[in-house]
């Protein structure tokens, strides 16, 4: 009887030492941040958004997937003071000219795969804004329980064309650049 158990014990030992376990790391939404910057010919504006929830899946030290949901109702302008255009700009950004927040209360990023190089991952995923989904690629640096990235998003791919020189002529100094930047910090 001892001889029949020995191969099973050896196989179990091999499997347990070579198998890594997938781990889902939830973000701490209240400690994570999204800072945005939008530019126009005559300057720029900055603001914040908040995460509703999110997670990354790891297999050992490799990212295998993930999903992040942004609460678009938290869109705020931080470079203007109340009474000096802040409310007007926030209202316009929430309108259908831009993010249509009344009908699109969330935006979502789905991580499909990632390739690791040192402490940085080349992440490939699908970004959904205003009900439109497009592929996106960006670098994500992971340092312990914190991950950071700066990604550029072409708003026109999400049917946000207001003030875009790519779609409208003679805008002059009223033109708004197509790309906006998201600086993201994830706390896990």
Domains within the chain, CATH numbers bracketed = 28-187 (2.40.128.110)
H or E element in which residue 90 lies: helix 86-94
Q: Is the pLDDT of residue 79 over 70?
A: yes
Higher model confidence: residue 170 or residue 12?
170
Find, among 147, 141, 159, the residue nearest to 68 by Cα: 147
| pTM for the predicted model, two decimal places | 0.86
Provide mean pLDDT across the span 57-77: 96
How far apart are alpha carbons 64 and 66 in whole angstroms?
A: 7
What is the pLDDT at residue 17?
A: 44
H or E element in which residue 91 lies: helix 86-94
Sign of dihedral through CA atoms 166, 167, 170, 174? negative
Ramachandran region, residue 75 (left: φ > 0; alpha: ψ -120 to 50; beta: rest): beta
Q: How confident is the model at residue 139 (pLDDT cuts 50, 70, 90)?
A: very high
* Digit-coded pLDDT (tens) for 13-63: 444 444 557 899 999 999 999 999 999 989 999 999 999 999 999 999 899
Higher model confidence: residue 167 or residue 77?
77
Q: Is the pLDDT of residue 1 over 60?
A: no
Provide mean pLDDT across the span 71-81: 97
Find, among 156, 138, 157, 155, the residue nearest to 147 by Cα: 138
């Amino acid at each position: 009887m001892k001889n029949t158990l020995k191969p099973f014990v050896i196989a179990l030992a091999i499997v347990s030492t070579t198998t890594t376990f997938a781990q889902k790391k939830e973000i701490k939404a209240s400690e994570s941040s999204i800072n945005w910057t939008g530019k126009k010919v005559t300057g720029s504006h900055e603001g914040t958004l908040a995460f509703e929830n999110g997670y990354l899946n790891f297999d050992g030290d490799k990212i295998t997937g993930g999903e992040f949901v942004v609460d678009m109702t938290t869109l705020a302008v931080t470079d203007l003071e109340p009474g000096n255009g802040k409310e007007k700009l926030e209202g316009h950004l929430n309108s259908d000219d831009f993010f249509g927040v009344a009908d699109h209360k969330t935006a979502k990023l789905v991580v499909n795969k990632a390739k690791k190089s040192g402490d940085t991952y080349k992440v490939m995923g699908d970004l959904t804004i205003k009900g439109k989904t497009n592929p996106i690629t960006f670098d994500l640096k992971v340092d312990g329980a914190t991950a950071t990235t700066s990604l550029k998003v072409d708003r026109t791919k999400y049917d946000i064309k207001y003030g875009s020189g790519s779609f409208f002529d003679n805008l002059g100094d009223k033109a708004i650049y197509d790309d906006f930047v998201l600086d993201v910090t994830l706390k896990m």
